[in-house]
Amino acid sequence: MPGMGGLELQHRLRTGHFNVPIIFTSAYGDVRMTVDAMKAGALDFLSKPFRSQDMLESVESALEYDYRRRETDRRQKELLARYLSLTPRERDILALVAKGLMNKQIASELCLSEITIKANRSHLMQKMRAKSVAELVKMDI
């Protein structure tokens, strides 16, 4: 690449927050360059000459990886938005539910009635779109 090496381009893409899958190809690559590229986030490193099939497989793999990463990012943002929609009390209750406390224990901890805890817990389950406490705890907020 005229004026800039692949590792430099990769560095600029990463520092510029361009989170794209990177596949290196090089006729002059060595073990050190491959290790540096992979440590910096490259998904593959193909040494020239390579078969067309190798490139196709590498691109397919990179696209699948990128799709999963984007999907994970989307789900995390959605989950954060749900969490931010909770009231401070619902967040407190969620934290105590995640610790394994029962409604009666949460009520005692927060100096509230058990009925209030049940109502708030029901609302937070709806807001978080959780069908069970186990699902709620697994959300990894």
3-state SS, residue 2: coil
Q: For 85-138, which CATH class? A: mainly alpha
* pLDDT for res 1: 56
Where exactly are the structural domains of the chain? 6-81, 85-138
CA pair distance 107, 123, nearest whole angstrom: 16
Query: Which pLDDT tens digits describe the chain residue by residue (141 residues)?
Result: 577 888 898 999 988 888 899 999 999 888 999 999 999 999 999 999 999 999 999 999 999 999 999 999 999 999 999 999 999 999 999 999 999 999 999 999 999 999 999 999 999 999 999 999 999 989 877
6-81 placed in CATH 3.40.50.300:
no
CA distances, 21 to each of 2, 36, 131 (Å): 21, 15, 35
d(CA 141, CA 78): 11
pTM of the model: 0.70
What's the Cα-to-Cα distance from 10 to each of 4, 5, 7, 76, 83, rounded to whole Å? 10, 9, 5, 26, 35
Question: Which pLDDT score is estimated for 4?
Answer: 83
